[in-house]
Amino acid sequence: MNRLTYPFCATLLGLCLWQALVWVTDAPHFILPAPWRVAKAAFESRALIAEHAVVTGTEVILGLIIGASLGAITAIQLAAFPRLARLTLPLLVFTQAVPVFALAPILTLWFGYGIGSKIVMAVLIIYFPVTSAFYDGLSRVTPALLDLAKTMGASKTQMMLRIKIPSALPSLASGLKLAAVYAPIGAVIGEWVGASRGLGYLMLLANGRAKIDLMFATLIVLALLTLLFHKVVSMLANRLTDTSVTS
């Protein structure tokens, strides 16, 4: 069996279970539509869904780039200055105790109903995973390598660039893979609170008009978009890790 067989079988099994649930519960189509109804709605509204998917995709991509960059820079600074880490890490952990939904209305008030507030939401939701994963990798470098570098007269900057960062790239890759899954969540939450475009907005619009089949179709497109981002980021992260190993 090739690598496409298992996803195909899993998808087929999911569709069968979905259809079986529709038959068993005998739920009306405006509560639980059958798969063929959702597929029909997706085909008929393909242009509309694609238009909103581009908006959400743009928010996610920009959020990933900005959030991952800020997270990586923060992790390097924390690893370079231990006192700063002891002061800052509790604050970073505390920020994760604040529900994301509580921040969404505030961000919408500050940055407006446009794309800006959704990008900020995506950045906030992926910043901590990237920072935490990369900092953990930077803190777990083999002490023997650092002692050898000190013996050879390497400076702190050289040890950071030549030893710590290359050794911690697998941890950064893990953080980026998580970020690829979390970023769409942040963007959609922002669209739910206040937006005029995006897949999250389209889901609310379809729900308000009792077009549950369109809402399901939009949800499936969002899931597929998230899987696509995770796959692309995983490929880039694995290539980054392989490059660090070979170098």
Angle between helices 115-139 and 46-80 (to 10 degrees): 40
**pLDDT of res. 169:** 86
Domains in the chain, start-ordered, CATH in brackets?
A: 34-246 (1.10.3720.10)
Q: Say how far residue 46 (Cα) sits from the centre of its chain.
A: 24
Predicted local confidence at residue 100, as pLDDT: 74
Q: What is the pLDDT of residue 2?
A: 61
Q: Is the pLDDT of residue 117 over 80?
A: yes
Q: What is the pLDDT of residues 134-173, one digit of tens each?
A: 988 888 877 777 767 777 777 777 777 787 888 888 888 8
Strands (E), the chain: none
- Condensed to tens digits (0 to 9), the pLDDT of residues 204-242 reads 888 888 888 899 999 999 999 998 998 888 888 888 776
Q: What percent of the chain has pLDDT over 90?
A: 14
| Residue predicted with more confidence, 6 or 82 | 82
